Amino acid sequence: MKRCVVPIPALLPAIAAVCLAADNKIDASLYQDTANKLIDAALADDAGLNRLEYLCYRIGNRLSGSASLDQAIAWGAEEMKQAGLVNVRTIPVKVPHWVRGRESAEMVEPRQKPLFMLGLGGSVATPPDGITADLVAVSSFDELEKLGKGGVEGKIVLYDAPFVSYDKTVTYRSNGASRAARLGAVAALVRSITPRSLRDPHTGAMQYSAFDPKIPTAAVSVEDAMWIHGLTRAGQRVRVHLAMEAHAEPDADSADVIGEIVGREKPDEVVVIGGHIDSWDVGQGAHDDGGGIMAALEAVALIKKLGLQPRRTIRLVFWTNEENGGRGGVAYRDWAGTQSGKHIAAIEMDGGAEKPVGFDIGAGQRPARGASRTAPGTGVPPELMQRATAIGALLKRIDAARIEPGEGEADIEPLMAQGVPGFGLRTAMTHYFDYHHLQADTFDKIVPEEFKRCAAAMAVMSYVLADLP
């Protein structure tokens, strides 16, 4: 996803451990031979790709609270052991357990036609017989407010908001239901958050306001949203029937998965690397975020395979519940406790397994889900940028050397809020939002060469950060 810059607070001990004075730059050439060995190994090795294929084809999607997520966690721990990692363990996490159930949407006037839809994660159900109501379509919250209660009450609201960027457009998915309910709507439909579509709906998390009624909400395909909106603009009355069985079960038991390469000189100082093991309950979670956790595992496995033992500990983590709660990242921070101050850096890959272009760096609190991520200034200390840029230069041969200020990723946010530098792997994202939260997020969309480059970039960045004098 495109990341905007966030301010970073005054240097904390964790940052100081990485950032030396401006005149104390590292000589990237000292690590170039090791970086080349890691890159060569990553490009030649198929183990990571084979693991990802197994995760996608044999285990499948992994929503929090599901049996398939439990299976993935147990399998992930065994894979870490097979790769030679030590201190493999799981950290218990209580996670939300939302169940989709049966669902459908259908236009009943001016013609009868099924709509392509997916309920949004966290939505409530419709009544058992569903909801049938007139539909009003808008392109923005401003248009919704202009309609007022008189134009919305008792109706289904459709947000047909064109994709601008994920950060700017996702607010309709996150907050659309409550904004519509405030004006008396009985349900909300949201145009899928994607720039391209083949009539496939994209699911994702939504949040209810504490002050407004909870109404059922679902995503519809881009094509259906544009078609319906076109009908209403022409003055045509549109009626839709929506039926959803979505509901929340009691919180379920889950876990983060952890394994390590213990540092040879400073084992209590940690570079943590990983992605999130959960996914939405559609597709196979290949790009989001099976590719991330398997590239991170491959990176650490190759460091181990090449007999490299950095000065500090590299800790691999598969965080749970990123998609609809973020509790895995919080549980890891709480488990680490006072060790958080000894985290030298946190690295996460959660932007798809397309061609890597580099890393962004951030620290401090990330914006809440659905909130604007734009903030003035870069805020990245010059020393940190210089150090990261020097490491990034080691990745020029795979065109992944770009280092920019940014905001890291969601699972490492709790560490970043405590001053730990967060590194987010950035990819070309040419097709990421074509598959995002979609039935089509499947293993066949993974390009082997691009996945291997991601593993190489993660290996070099994590190893060098952990080995710096």
Buried b (16+ CB within 10 A) or exposed e, 270-290: bbbbbbbbbbbbbbbbbbbbb
Task: Locate 44 and state its tokens.
Answer: 């030649």
Q: Is 354 a catalytic residue?
A: no
Sheet holding 247-261, edge to edge: 86-99, 247-261, 312-319, 266-276, 343-348, 422-427, 356-362, 402-405
Segments of 139-294 assigned E as strands: 156-159, 187-191, 217-220, 239-244, 247-261, 266-276
- How does DSSP assign 53-81, residue by residue? HHIIIII----TT-HHHHHHHHHHHHHHH
Task: Please tell me the distance from the alpha carbon of residue 289 to that of residue 304, in angstroms, as a whole number.
Answer: 23
Indicate the DSSP class of residue 255. Answer: E
Contacts of 202 (CB under 8 A, 6+ apart): 118, 192, 193, 194, 219, 436, 437, 438
Task: Locate 95 and state its tokens.
Answer: 């996670």
Q: Out of 298, 322, 404, 413, which one is annotated catalytic? A: 322
Are 406 and 3 within 8 A, CB to CB?
A: yes
Q: Which of 137, 134, 203 is nearest to 174 (CA)?
A: 203
Contacts of 402 (CB under 8 A, 6+ apart): 357, 358, 359, 392, 426
Are 158 and 137 within 8 A, CB to CB?
A: yes
CA distances to 78, 167, 322, 349 from 74, in Å: 7, 34, 18, 21
CA distances to 75, 252, 288 from 93, in Å: 17, 8, 20
Percent helix / strand / coil, the chain, rounded to 5? 40, 25, 40
| Active site members | 322
